[in-house]
Amino acid sequence: MHNGTSLCNWKRILLYAVAAYGIALGVRLMQPNPLPDAITMVDGEYLLGTHDAYNWLIRAIDPQTFGSHPMSVLTRVFVEFTGISYETVAFWAPPILASLVAAVVVCWAALLGSAEMGLIAGVVAALCPGFLYRTVFGFYDTDLVMLLMPLLLTLAPAALLQGRIHTPMDMWKARKNDQGSSVPDAGKPVSRMLMGLLLLSGMIGWWMQEWHVFFLYLSKIFPLVALALVLLLGKRGGRVPLLAGLALYALPMGGGWIGSILALLLFGVHAFPSHIPARPLEHRLAPVVLVLVIALAGLDASFFQSVLIRINLYLKPVASDGDAARYGLKVAFPAVVQSVIEAQNMSLSDLFGYLYPVTGVVVLGLLGFLATLWFAPSATMLLPLLVLGLLSVKLGGRMIMFAAPAVGLGIAMPIHYLLLRCRSARLNSGAARLAISCVLSLLLAVPIWAQISALPYVPFISAPHVKALKAVKDETPADAAIWTWWDWGYATQFFTRKWTYSDGARHNSDRLYPTAAIYTTDSPRFANQLIKYIMNNDENLYYAWKGKSAQEVEIILAELKDRDLGLSLPRKQYLVVTVDSLKLGAWITRFGTWNFRRNSMQGYNVSRLGNIRVDLNQGYFAEVKAGELTPVAVDSVDMIAAEGVEHHDYMRQSGIHLVIDMLSGSQFIMDSAMYKTMMVQMLLRKPDDPALAPYFRLVHGNGHTRIFEVL
């Protein structure tokens, strides 16, 4: 390590960490702050940027109904302590908390030899566009810990390995000089403090498994990576202390309470050897036992099954039959993962762009990280995160952020290694290093600043939608259930305090298909009776269709559409139709047209338009693009306003329909099949329309969003 940035010089490390945090936060706060207007606020509170944010908020408010979660518990404690509203916390917390990544990356750089260069690495990692766009204003989600905590959890094992294993460079030099046997043996001892940090990291890693399933996998991968480094690069006579430290790290993460108790006993054996006459760590079988403990901690059959399920999900199958054996199903349901934006495949060029706006910088970072491994193999602890990030081409954009710390360190650390070999005392001084680091950090932040300063704040849910949900909060029974498309499930729970049939965690298979089918059908009777049918079968289509063939399922669906089955509801049910869902209409109708015989889907055509000009007299519209106007003839135009719907029919056979929402400024063009769906017609028809009235009663509506009681 450079003598100016020793890990013992914690004040300097803290200074650089605070500086990196300040730059990252400063750039993030350059995002235009939304004005307190009718688009971004309702009743004086900001609307949030992602649907998951409302999940953590409603769980914080009502954990008994909606379930508890560590993130919600911490949110509730903070709100109760400060008196700040939940929406305000969720709006401002993302940039404030996400910037902590920069500080932790500085600690990583200090561990590898240069806290000054950590300023560069921290800025690049914390402002990685793939991470930045998921942690801007209002994006209050687990992404705030998904990158931060793995970086923290790998610091202790990396500190254990740093300087206590051979570097590839040292081994290469030894072989080159035919002095392999003279490579130095074990160096500095492992302190009690470091062993305590390893134990603490293991316990935190165990706790983080309650936050997200990825920590279940990472808690197994990180100890195995460290174990491989010890076995391959460990110094003679120094492996047992390293293995003991890794066992302290692995046991709590893999063994829970039992593993934690065993780890505490092991800590006592290592920290106070004079009090234990037997000296078990000096036994000749100790290395073998420790290797087995680390390798096998938590690796049981359920773990491998979970990994296989997760891999299958990210392969994005069209059909989902994961519960077929459990329920004795003979039919498969559509799978949702292929439609989730954050899980969709991307090109390699897009991946590089989400790591940093300049592709050349990303390439240099990746190559530089390989060079860093040559000089500091303890950085291999970050390799699983790098691989996970590069797999974004198949696993989806959310994974990109995991590669950012390696790319940042790959840019920064080679500069440190070059300066170490520089003969100029002036260039290798602490002042020169700091100057280089500050200049490069600011230069690398400029392209990110340019992007975020042009990024307007857009809530994921519209204000009219929220106003309708809030209006029915007190107008509906406490035990009522609300049917809405799953993307709006958490927000619906938050604003109505009512349970929804589907949400961001319950949106696959048996809940995905019926919700989509209700919105996609052109039959009010079918929509009404499918809800009743599900509610009379314990809200579980798996249970209802156990052992039934595809032909039998299709007969049931046909009966629900063709005749009145006299079904009743065990409790009140409400259906939400909103213009917001039309943005997802193509996906909703794909799932809603699922064919159980062929395991295929069709879907209807609907697109959101930009700036258009409409001729209501002639029945034409033209989308304004680059000054060009191409008129399109339509069969109908519907203009939704607060006072009602203005309908224009042109008696054509073009199969094209235009729907304009005057409240939100949204405009949609769609085919006739889409136009006839319940998700469109229940917005456009009069509530007392004879086709709707026997099945649904309007409870509240503002044009943009209508909420119906299921009769």
Q: Global pTM? A: 0.90
CA dist., res. 4 & res. 8, Å (int): 10
* Count of CA atoms in the C-beta half-sphere (13 A) of 231: 13
Helix/strand/coil for 382: helix
Residue 442, classed as helix, strand or coil, is: helix
CA-CA distance, 271 to 252, in Å (whole number)? 18
pLDDT tens digits, 252-301 = 998 889 999 999 998 988 777 766 666 777 778 888 999 999 998 877 65
Q: Is the pLDDT of residue 508 over 80?
A: no
Contacts of 704 (CB under 8 A, 6+ apart): 462, 464, 465, 468, 578, 579, 580, 640, 661, 663, 664
Residue 317: which of 290, 303, 337 has the closest Cα? Answer: 337
Residue 1: what pLDDT? 41
Confidence band (pLDDT; 50, 70, 90) for 425? Answer: low
Q: What is the DSSP letter of 400?
A: G
| Amino acid 312: pLDDT | 62
Sign of CA dihedral 464, 466, 470, 475: positive
Instruction: Give dist(CA 508, CA 513) in Å, integer.
Output: 8
DSSP 283: S
Q: What is the mean pLDDT of residues 4-16?
A: 74
Mean pLDDT throughout 42-59? 94
DSSP state of 142: T
Q: How far is 120 from 589, CA to CA, in rounded Å?
A: 47
Confidence grade of residue 3 (pLDDT, cut at 50, 70, 90): very low
Question: Using the 8-state DSSP alphabet, how is residue 668 labeled?
Answer: E
For the chain, what percent of residues have pLDDT higher than 90? 63
SS3 295: helix
CA distances from residue 665 to 579, 610, 646, 661 in whole angstroms, order as listed:
10, 10, 15, 6
Q: What are the structure tokens assigned to 490, written together?
A: 């958490």
Task: Centre a 10 Å sphere on the Cβ of residue 437 and count the other Cβ atoms it contains.
Answer: 27
pLDDT recorded at residue 260: 92
Residues 673 and 679 sit within 8 Å (Cβ to Cβ): no
Residue type, position 251, single letter: L
Per the DSSP assignment, residues forming a β-bridge with 481 are 499, 573
What does the pLDDT read at residue 313? 60
Across the range 176-183, mean pLDDT stands at 56
Residues of the chain above pLDDT 70, percent: 90
Q: Is the pLDDT of residue 543 over 90?
A: no
Q: 564, 530 in Cβ contact below 8 A?
A: no
Average pLDDT over residues 235-262: 90
Q: What residues does 620 pair with on adjacent strands?
A: 615, 633
Tell me the C-alpha distance between 36 and 598, whole Å: 50
β strands within 201-263, DSSP E: none
What integer best gives the mean pLDDT of the chain?
88
> In the chain, what is the straight-line distance between the N-terminal and C-terminal CA atoms, in Å?
73
Whether pLDDT at 7 is above 60: no
Q: pLDDT tens digit string along 52-61?
A: 999 999 999 9
Residue 269: predicted pLDDT: 83
Most confident of 200-204, 325-329, 417-421, 507-511: 200-204
pLDDT for residue 562 is more than 60: yes
- Of residues 607, 604, 618, the one with CA closest to residue 669: 607
Mean pLDDT calculated for residue range 313-337: 69
Q: What is the mean pLDDT of residues 212-240?
A: 89
189 pLDDT more than 90: no
Rounded to whole angstroms, the Cα distance separating 301 from 134 reads 34
In the structure, what pLDDT confidence band is assigned to residue 154 with cuts at 50, 70 and 90?
very high
- Residue (of 570, 581, 606, 544) closest to 664 by Cα position: 581
Contact 231, 291 (CB under 8 A): yes
Helix (H) or strand (E) holding 657: strand 656-661
Rg (CA), the chain: 29
Distance CA 426, CA 432 (A): 7
Q: pLDDT tier at 185 (50, 70, 90 boundaries)?
A: low
pLDDT in tens, 443-479: 999 999 999 999 989 899 999 999 999 999 988 999 9
Give the 3-state secondary structure of residue 154.
helix
For residue 415, what pLDDT band results from cuts at 50, 70 and 90? very high
Q: What is the pLDDT of residue 72?
A: 96
Categorize the per-residue pLDDT at 68 as very low, low, confident or very high, splitting at 50, 70 and 90: very high
Nearest to 366 by CA among 398, 421, 405, 418: 405
Buried b (16+ CB within 10 A) or exposed e, 345-365: ebeeeebbbbbbbeeebbebb
Where is average pLDDT lowest: 95-104, 183-192, 276-285, 385-394?
A: 183-192
SS3 label, residue 272: coil
Res. 138: pLDDT tops 90:
yes
pLDDT at 343: 58
Helix axes 86-98, 51-61, angle to 10 degrees: 120
pLDDT tops 50 at residue 308 = yes
Mean pLDDT, residues 538-557 taken together: 89
- pLDDT at position 395 is 76
Range from 179-183, 544-548, 570-574 that averages highest in pLDDT:
570-574
Q: Which residue type occupies 146?
A: M
Question: What mean pLDDT do residues 48-67 have?
Answer: 95
Residue pLDDT, tens place only, 200-223: 999 999 999 999 888 988 888 999
